[in-house]
């Protein structure tokens, strides 16, 4: 197969599959009218998704990343501002990586 055609097919297939995953969640919730026991399930998804992204990522780091993570959480709880918490986290990890 010509290289350009193969690239186009690969990109088109990946795009279709990816959009399907983006649309499927809302589609299913709308169709199935999930209620009752599913409500606590759906309501807890945001937290459990974020925890699942974070846990391996934080664990993979070292003391610098762990301290920076703690500082980020503390700053977020104290100031309730995402940009500020981000700035604190980046500053702490940058400084700690220099000295460790």
Partner 1 sequence: MSRVSFDRAGLLRGARESWPIALGVFTYGLVFGVLARQAWLGAGGALSMSAFVFAGASQFVALDLWGPDLPFAGLFLTTLAVNLRHVLMGAALGPWFSRLTPLQAYGSLFFMNDESWALTLARCSREDGDVDGAYLLGSGLTVYAAWLASTALGHLAVAGLGDPARYGLDFAFTAVFLALLTGLRRGRQDILPWTLAALVAVLTARLMPGKWHILAGALAGSLAAAWLPRFGSGRG
Residues forming the site for partner 1 (CB under 8 A): 6-15, 17-19, 21-30, 34, 37-38, 40-59, 61, 65, 68-69, 72-73, 75-77, 80, 82-83, 85-86, 88-91, 93-94, 97
Task: Give the contacts of 66 (CB within 8 A, at least 6 positions apart).
Answer: 58
Tokens 């599959």 -> residue? 17
Rounded to a whole number of angstroms, the minimum distance from the CB of residue 35 to partner 1 is: 11
Which is closer to partner 1, CB of 56 or CB of 63?
A: 56
The closest alpha carbon to 94, from 60, 73, 75, 71, belongs to: 71
Which is closer to partner 1, CB of 63 or CB of 68?
A: 68
Separation in Å, CA 80 to CA 1, 31, 73, 83? 54, 36, 10, 9
Which is closer to partner 1, CB of 46 or CB of 63?
A: 46
């Amino acid at each position: 197969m010509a290289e350009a055609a193969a690239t186009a097919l690969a990109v088109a297939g990946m795009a279709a599959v990816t959009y399907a995953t983006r649309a499927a969640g809302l589609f299913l919730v709308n169709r199935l009218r999930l209620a009752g026991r599913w409500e606590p399930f759906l309501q807890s998804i945001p937290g459990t998704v974020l925890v699942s992204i974070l846990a391996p990522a934080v664990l993979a780091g070292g003391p610098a990343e762990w301290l920076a993570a703690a500082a980020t959480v503390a700053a977020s709880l104290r100031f309730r501002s995402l940009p500020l918490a981000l700035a604190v986290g980046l500053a702490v990890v940058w400084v700690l990586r220099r000295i460790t």
